[in-house]
Amino acid sequence: MESRWLKLSPLSGVVFVALVLSTFFTGGSMPSDKASGAKIVQFYTHHKTGQQVTALLTIIAVAVGVFFFGTLRARLRQHPGNERYAAMMFGGAILFAAGGCISAGLSLTLADRPAHLDPGAAQTLNLLQTNFSFPFTLAGIAALLLTSAIAILRGTVLPKWVGWLSLVMGVVALTGPLGWFAFMAMGPWCLIVSTLLYRRGEQPSVVELPDLPSQSVVADKPVTTKVTR
């Protein structure tokens, strides 16, 4: 049972992408950061249930995503010397997840009682919704991709071209406005990595043994003590 679970665990990346994609269709077209307070209140009043469903799907996607990136970390660390890069990759995944949780929390706040929101407060929350969580998301994506690239290029768990693709996407994520393209490319990237990990299966762990100092064997010799009288 456990071996079957380990074999299927990489496919959690496919589930993660499906959940993220579903959030684009449940909540409606969200107001821009330049929308008036009255327009924002009207939107969340009309799309209250949809926004609540979107937030719930985002929370589930975050949980599944953490599981997927944990699986990726376990595979990457199998190569000797990759432990630090696998750990840093998972740290980036946690930042990525934090961005999703912040976005979901703000959506739930706006959709809780939109009719009671002051237009100014609605504008402030909407600004936070559209801008505050994105730096967490971009920083997480950049750290995740760049450290994954190093680990993949050093090891044999995934093809080298996936490492080079990760490197390019990680650099793009650090370029400010162009980071949106890296965010959109995360879906295909997760699908590629998930499929390849599943097809390659669990690989035996390689243990790097420390070098032991050479020891010389000295034969016991009798000790002769000369006494002078």
pLDDT tens column, 203-221? 554 444 444 454 444 444 4
Any domain includes 136: yes
Tokens of 136: 């967490």
Q: What is the SS3 assignment for 144-164?
A: HHHHHHHHHHHCCCCCHHHHH
Provide the percentage of residues in the chain whose pLDDT is more than 90.
51
Residue 1 pLDDT class (50, 70, 90 cuts): low
Amino acid 170: pLDDT: 95
Any domain includes 226: no
Query: Where does residue 153 rank: exposed (0-12), middle (13-18), buried (19+ CB within 10 A)?
Result: middle
Amino acid 218: pLDDT: 44
Angle at 49 between CA 187 and CA 181, to 5 degrees: 20
Any domain includes 150: yes
Q: In this predicted model, what pLDDT tens digit does every residue of 116-144 receive, in sequence order?
A: 888 888 888 888 888 888 889 999 999 99
Any domain includes 221: no
- Number of structural domains in the chain: 1
For the residues 149-157, what does the mean pLDDT come to? 93
Any domain includes 222: no
Q: Are 89 and 143 in contact (CB under 8 A)?
A: yes
Amino acid 133: pLDDT: 85
Ramachandran assignment for 176, one of left (phi > 0), alpha (psi -120 to 50 degrees), beta (any other): left
Any domain includes 214: no
Domain encompassing residue 68: 2-200
Query: Can you give the pTM of this predicted structure?
Result: 0.81
Q: For the chain, give the longest Cα–Cα distance.
A: 114
Any domain includes 48: yes
Any domain includes 98: yes
Q: In this predicted model, what pLDDT tens digit does every residue of 158-191 receive, in sequence order?
A: 999 999 999 999 999 998 778 889 999 999 999 9
Amino acid 37: pLDDT: 83
Rounded distance between C-alpha atoms, residue 157 and residue 110, angstroms: 43
